[in-house]
Structure 1
Amino acid sequence: MLGVRIKDGDHFEAAIRRFKKQCEKSGLMAELRKREYYEKPSVRRKRKQIAARKRLAKMQRRARQQAARR
């Protein structure tokens, strides 16, 4: 559970900033966006496969660039 304690003399805006930072680090907002609508298992699998292909292509591109620099 996320929470921020406001210390004596602490500004409310600073507490809000700390809370937002905690939310971002924990991945809460990304999880909420992901669960906003139901995603069929077949669509989820396809999305993950596309992401894996993109990651692989990116790694291969970087490897080629590294080899070209040598």
Structure 2
Amino acid sequence: MIKVRARAGESVQAMVKRFKKMCEKEGLIRDMKRNSYYEKPSEKNRRRRRKAQRMAQMGTRRR
């Protein structure tokens, strides 16, 4: 659970901006978008395999 406490002299807009950054860093927005519609298990597996392939390619490029 993300909590934002007001700093001394901080405006509400600055607090909201910090909250949004924290949500983005935690990946909450991405998860909400992904869960907003049903995804078939085969599509999930396909997406995970593609991600694994991209990560493997990135690992071999850096070396």
Say whether the fold is shared (TM-score over 0.5): yes
> 2:4 & 2:36 partners in 1: Cα distance?
25
The one-letter code matched in structure 1 to 2:33 is R
State the shift of 1:54 in Å.
Answer: 1.3
- State the shift of 1:18 in Å: 1.6
Shift of 1:21: 1.8
Q: Does 1:44 align with 2:44?
A: yes
Give the aligned residue type for 1:58.
M
Q: Which runs of 5+ in 2 are unaligned?
A: none
Shift of 1:14: 1.2
Gaps of 5+ in 1: 64-70
| Superposed displacement of residue 49, structure 1 | 0.7
Greater Rg by CA: 1
Over the residues paired in the alignment, what is the CA RMSD in angstroms? 1.7
Structure-1 residue corresponding to 2:53: 53
Paired amino acid for 2:25: K
- How far apart are residue 60 of structure 1 and its match? 1.4
Aligned residues: 63
- Against the structure 1 CA distance between its residues 42 and 8, is the aligned structure 2 distance closer, same or farther, given a 3 Å change threshold? same
Alpha-carbon spacing, 1:62–1:8, altered in 2? closer, same or farther (3 Å)? closer
% identity of equivalent residues: 38
The TM-score normalised by the length of structure 1 is: 0.72
